[in-house]
């Protein structure tokens, strides 16, 4: 089976690019807990290390851990390492995560390119059991529904029948419903783990999970990203000061934020940019561009990637 980084250039996926920039804006608000550059970032860098590069350049994070499961390609990963402040760990995430210290505030993005399964839920459980207050957990999974017949059975095999919500059927796992069910399963895992962790904590020091992200997007495959913040219940005022709710892409419930990328030319983008922000998009001078594309672009224009050819001699 080909490795995902051999068939997909993660640096050039527009929706993924937008998602990373939105994360970056949200992470800046963690400064209410401590300096953001004092956080540790854990992710799956692949050969492109796009998230590591962005977070290092924009947030100045220098404590970075990249987990890579393709041990046989270690030389290639090491060759593509963009900065010396990224510590490469080779092996499965289920093995690497327990071997790391967890007494530091951490942003961890478990960015999988596979459907939700028990190994992923094991990673989620471990992080929820060990993360310190002020830490952020994000999980991305492939949320394609699959063939109609057998969707439910496949889900049960992947995550375990006990973790599948009641009342599902093959028909109820179509379109984006699979992503919605995945979010429920991941959230249930987080809540159950937090409840266990709080069993020995005194009132006022209980651990809390606050969902911040619920993204749906499809550069190629349909993808779900869900995640949020861990904090002590006595820090509720601190969380309020972060002002996450002022970011329109922050979603704390079932309703997802859909990252929809319009197909626009660079000339069209430059022309529209000169008129944004704008409260009434119908008044924009945008010849022949459909209103729904203008609406999509206006929501994400500050994060919109621009890819151009460049020759470096």
pLDDT tens, position by position, 39-88: 999 999 999 999 999 999 999 999 999 999 999 999 999 999 999 999 99
Residue 191 lies in a domain: yes
* 302 φ/ψ angles, rounded to the nearest 5 degrees: -70, -20
Q: What is the mean pLDDT of residues 226-247?
A: 97
- Both tokens assigned to 184: 């429920």
Q: At what angle do helices 291-300 and 266-273 cross, to 10 degrees?
A: 70
Q: Are the C-beta atoms of residues 261 and 300 closer than 8 Å to each other?
A: yes
Same domain, 103 and 240: yes
Same domain, 163 and 180: yes
* Alpha-carbon gap, residue 229 to 97, rounded angstroms: 18
End-to-end CA, the chain: 36
Same domain, 198 and 113: yes
Same domain, 47 and 10: yes
- Report which of 288, 292, 296 is spatially closest to residue 267, judged by C-alpha positions: 288
pLDDT in tens, 159-209: 999 999 999 999 999 999 999 999 999 999 999 999 999 998 888 889 999
Q: Are the C-beta atoms of residues 123 and 94 closer than 8 Å to each other?
A: yes
Q: Are the C-beta atoms of residues 107 and 136 closer than 8 Å to each other?
A: yes
- How far, rounded to the nearest angstrom, does the alpha carbon of residue 90 sit from its chain's CA centroid? 21
Greater confidence, 7 or 253? 253
- Both tokens assigned to 128: 């929820």
Residues written for the chain: 313
* Alpha-carbon gap, residue 69 to 44, rounded angstroms: 9
What ranges in 84-242 are assigned the alpha helix state H?
Answer: 93-96, 118-130, 151-159, 177-197, 236-242
Same domain, 251 and 153: yes
How many distinct structural domains can be found in the chain? 2
* Alpha-carbon gap, residue 185 to 182, rounded angstroms: 5
Q: For the ranges 132-136, 145-149, 267-271, which has the lowest average pLDDT?
A: 145-149
Same domain, 280 and 165: no
The CATH number of the domain holding residue 58 is: 3.40.50.150
- Assessment of whether the complete model's pTM goes beyond 0.75: yes
Residue 93 lies in a domain: yes
* Alpha-carbon gap, residue 172 to 151, rounded angstroms: 9
Residue 309 lies in a domain: no
Which range of residues forms the domain containing residue 63? 4-259
Residue 138 lies in a domain: yes
The residue assigned the tokens 């004092």 is: 38
Same domain, 272 and 151: no
Same domain, 184 and 297: no
């Amino acid at each position: 089976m080909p490795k995902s980084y051999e068939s997909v250039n993660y640096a050039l996926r527009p929706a993924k690019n937008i998602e990373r920039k939105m994360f970056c804006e949200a992470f800046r608000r963690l400064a209410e807990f401590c300096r953001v550059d004092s956080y540790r970032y854990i992710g799956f860098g692949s050969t492109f290390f796009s998230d590591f590069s962005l977070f290092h350049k924009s947030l100045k994070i220098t404590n970075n851990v990249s987990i890579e499961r393709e041990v046989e390609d270690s030389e290639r990963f090491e060759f593509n390492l963009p900065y010396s402040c990224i510590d490469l760990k080779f092996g499965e995430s289920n093995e690497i995560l327990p071997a790391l210290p967890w007494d530091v505030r951490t942003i961890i993005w478990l960015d999988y390119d596979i459907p939700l399964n028990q190994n992923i839920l094991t990673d989620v459980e471990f992080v929820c059991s060990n993360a310190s207050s002020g830490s952020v957990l994000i999980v991305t999974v492939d949320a394609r529904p699959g063939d109609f017949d057998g969707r439910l059975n496949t889900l049960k095999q992947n995550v375990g029948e006990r973790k599948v919500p009641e009342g599902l059927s093959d028909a109820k796992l179509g379109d984006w419903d699979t992503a919605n069910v995945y979010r429920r399963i991941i959230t249930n895992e987080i809540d159950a783990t937090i409840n266990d962790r709080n069993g020995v904590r005194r009132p006022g020091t209980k651990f809390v999970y606050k969902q911040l992200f619920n993204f749906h997007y499809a550069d190629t495959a349909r993808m779900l990203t869900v995640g949020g913040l861990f904090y002590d219940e006595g820090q509720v005022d601190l969380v309020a000061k972060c002002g996450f709710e002022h970011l329109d892409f922050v979603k704390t419930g079932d309703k997802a934020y859909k990252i929809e990328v319009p197909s626009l030319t660079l000339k069209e983008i430059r022309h529209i940019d000169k008129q944004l922000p704008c409260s009434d998009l119908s008044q924009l001078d945008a010849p022949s561009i459909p209103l729904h594309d203008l609406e999509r672009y206006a929501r994400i224009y500050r994060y919109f990637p621009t890819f151009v050819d460049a020759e470096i001699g």
